């Protein structure tokens, strides 16, 4: 496993035990630990136990393992924290706010009045443009399967 980790990556260092963490779940493929800069109490991170910068580089089979752990953690957060809702957040690239370039999923307990926003106003889009984009994405997926 250590040959699949990257020197200098804070999450790889957590996996190797070089940096302490409040680990709440771990299996052969994934690790879940508390975010030390939490948005809300119970904010947890889920990572694969190998280095991959983002969803574009992650092997498809590893994403299923990570999402299984995201589900376990989300259910535990729901039972223990009892939030009014939970956001699952995963960012890819600086433009999306990714600050640690090791793929990770945030499990964030939320309350209606917690003051944090992730919602955007619903403004109807141009149906022709939406349809053209959908077709281009369908074609790309078919070409790369």
Task: Match 């879940």 to its residue by tokens.
Answer: 32
Copy the structure tokens of residue 89.
Answer: 């957040």
Taking all residues of the chain, what is their mean pLDDT, rounded to a whole number?
93
| pLDDT at 4 (0 to 100) | 87
Given the residues 51, 102, 104, 106, the one annotated as active site: 104
Using 50, 70 and 90 to split pLDDT, how confident is the model at 3? low
Task: Match 């009892």 to its residue by tokens.
Answer: 82
Which of these ranges, 26-30, 87-91, 130-134, has the smallest mean pLDDT? 130-134
CB 51 within 8 A of CB 31: no
Using 50, 70 and 90 to split pLDDT, how confident is the model at 123? confident
51: containing domain: 2-144
Specify which residues 88 forms β-bridges with: 107
- pLDDT above 70 coverage of the chain, percent: 98
| pLDDT at 15 (0 to 100) | 97
Question: What CA–CA distances, in Å, run from 101 to 57, 92, 105, 127, 133?
Answer: 11, 8, 12, 35, 28
Active-site residue flag, 104 = yes
The residue among 11 and 122 whose pLDDT is bigger is 11
The CATH number of whichever domain residue 136 belongs to comes to 3.30.428.10
Number of domains in the chain: 1
Mean pLDDT calculated for residue range 63-85: 96
Residues comprising the chain, all counted: 145
- DSSP for 63-85, written as a single string: HHHHHHHHHHHHHHHHHHH--SE
């Amino acid at each position: 496993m250590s040959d699949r980790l990257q020197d200098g990556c804070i999450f790889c260092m957590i996996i190797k035990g070089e940096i302490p963490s409040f680990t709440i779940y771990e299996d052969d493929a994934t690790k879940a630990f508390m975010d030390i800069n939490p948005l809300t109490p119970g904010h947890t991170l889920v990572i694969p136990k190998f280095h991959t910068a983002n969803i574009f580089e992650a092997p498809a089979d590893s994403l299923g393992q990570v999402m299984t752990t995201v589900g376990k953690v989300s259910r535990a957060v729901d039972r223990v924290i009892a939030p009014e809702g939970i956001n699952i957040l995963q960012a890819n690239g600086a433009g999306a706010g990714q600050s640690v370039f090791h793929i990770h999923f945030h499990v964030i307990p939320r309350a209606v009045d917690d003051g944090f926003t992730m919602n955007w106003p619903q403004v109807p889009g141009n149906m022709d443009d939406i349809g053209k984009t959908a077709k281009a994405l369908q074609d790309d997926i078919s070409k790369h399967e």
